[in-house]
Amino acid sequence: GPSDLGQRFSHSAAAPARPPFGIAFDIDGVILRGRSPIGGAPRAIRRLYSDDGTLKIPFLFLTNGGGVPEHRRAHELSQLLGVNISPTQVVHGHSPYRELVDRFKDDLIVAVGKGEPGVVMSEYGFRKVLSIDEYASHFKDIDPLAPFKAWKVAQTDSYMSAKVHPSYDVFSERVKGVFVVSDPVDWGRDLQVLCDILSTGGLPGSGKGEQPPLYFAADDLEYQAAFPSERLGMGAFRIALESIFNKINDHPLKYTSYGKPNPFVFKNAASILEKIVMNMYPNSLTSKEVIDCQFSTIYMVGDNPKVDINGASKAGHPWSSVLTRTGVFRGQDNDPQFPADAVCLISGFFPRPVAV
């Protein structure tokens, strides 16, 4: 009968079975510590590819970090891990900022953080972008401590954004939005300049004014970098900015934070994984069968219970969480507050602090 035919069709020998699961890997504290791969991470990632280099298991990187365009990160990770990672497989904390382009049209925005935050925002389509380095450089004496700073600000990022855009008159044009793209580099200056922008309606040195919208790519209090114990992340910077802003203004700071553990991040990652599966089966007949199927499980492999595991748990089906002992989490068993579905028994990655 017809149901019989349907059965045969969906199990046709010509159609390769679609993998029933996908994987989202956290980067810092799972794949990398600083710029060095952790333990068997490169080998684990290579196992997701066939010998001819094609993808066998759909996966992506779901990190709260960033600071460079996704294609740049994909290239760096490809080199570090020895496989061909596509830009689609990289989801940064700031990746959803590209959805906000229409809200800011020709507005001047300031991009904050390590790497090339201005380039990231320009590539997303924002038309008037200045990195905080370049923005601050227009205002003489805005940072009274600058003369005591031994370092020189790298001009690569601001140079790039200046090349894309004509110069702006920052003394008449108000900043209409502030985007913290990645971990701020010079906290002291950035706290000062952001308080200026946010308290004055986007014009440092002028009177009080309405706060322009402020976005954070993530809200990680701490994360695992190369140093043996956790480092302060963007969430710590947010706390510093918020407490100072609230002391010098009579209204509280307003902001929006992206990144894990927000459930929409996991929803978005699941739909990207669906696209990745589609690309694995370019044949249209197969694609139909692939479309009719869904992941029974998507694994979130992370090191931070509050961020990665909490996020996957809140996202619900088909997410399942795997907690590694290679980063923020160091417990013996499971995390008591945000227990994972599985805990990886990887250990021995923590050398004692080394005296230099």
Which residues here bind Mg ion, judged by CB under 5 A? 26, 28-29, 303-304
Smallest distance, Å, CB 29 to ligand G3P?
5
179 binds, among ligand G3P, Mg ion, none (CB under 5 to 8 A by kind): none
- Interface with ligand G3P, residue 115, by CB under 6 A: no
| Cα–Cα nearest to 260, from 125, 122, 96 | 96
64 binds, among ligand G3P, Mg ion, none (CB under 5 to 8 A by kind): ligand G3P
Tell me the closest approach of the beta carbon of residue 112 to ligand G3P, in angstroms.
Answer: 13
What are the DSSP E strand ranges found in 255-355?
Answer: 256-257, 297-302, 319-323, 342-343
CA pseudo-torsion sign 333, 339, 341, 346:
negative
In the region spanning residues 172 to 191, those forming contacts with ligand G3P, defined by CB under 6 A, are 183
> In the bound complex, what is the minimum distance in angstroms from residue 6's beta carbon to ligand G3P?
43
The reply on whether position 117 binds ligand G3P by CB under 6 A is: no
Task: Please check whether residue 122 is in contact with residue 164, taking contact to mean a CB–CB distance below 8 angstroms.
Answer: yes
Q: Scanning the structure block, which residue is given the tokens 């929409």?
A: 264
Contact pick of 19, 58, 65, 204 for ligand G3P (by CB under 6 A): 65
What region does 202 belong to: left with phi over 0, alpha with psi -120 to 50, or beta?
left
223 binds ligand G3P (CB under 6 A): yes
Smallest separation, CB 183 to ligand G3P (Å): 5
| Contact partner at residue 265 from ligand G3P, Mg ion, none, CB < 5 to 8 Å by partner kind | none
Q: Which of 116, 123, 190, 220 binds ligand G3P (CB under 6 A)?
A: 220
Minimal distance, residue 305 CB to ligand G3P, in Å: 12
Exactly one of 38, 63, 272, 277 binds ligand G3P (CB under 6 A); which one? 63
Regarding 218 and contact with ligand G3P (CB under 6 A), the answer is yes
Residue nearer to ligand G3P on the CB measure, 184 or 212:
184
Q: Which of 19, 22, 29, 204 binds ligand G3P (CB under 6 A)?
A: 29
Bridge partners for 130 per DSSP: 110
Letter string b/e over residues 75-102, b meaning 16 or more CB atoms within 10 A of that residue's CB: bebeebbebebeeebbbbbbbbbeebee
Distance CA 96, CA 179 (A): 12
Tokens 């805990």 sit at which residue? 343
* Shortest Å distance, C-beta 170 to Mg ion: 36
* Residue with Cβ nearer ligand G3P (74 or 234): 234
Question: How far, in whole angstroms, is CA 280 from its chain's centroid?
Answer: 24
Report the C-alpha gap between 218 and 27 in whole angstroms.
14
Compute the distance between CA of residue 179 and CA of residue 190 in angstroms, rounded to an integer: 12
CA proximity to 93, closest of 64, 124, 60, 62: 64
Cβ at position 77, least distance to ligand G3P in Å: 11
Footprint of ligand G3P (CB under 6 A): 26-29, 63-65, 183, 218, 220, 223, 233-234
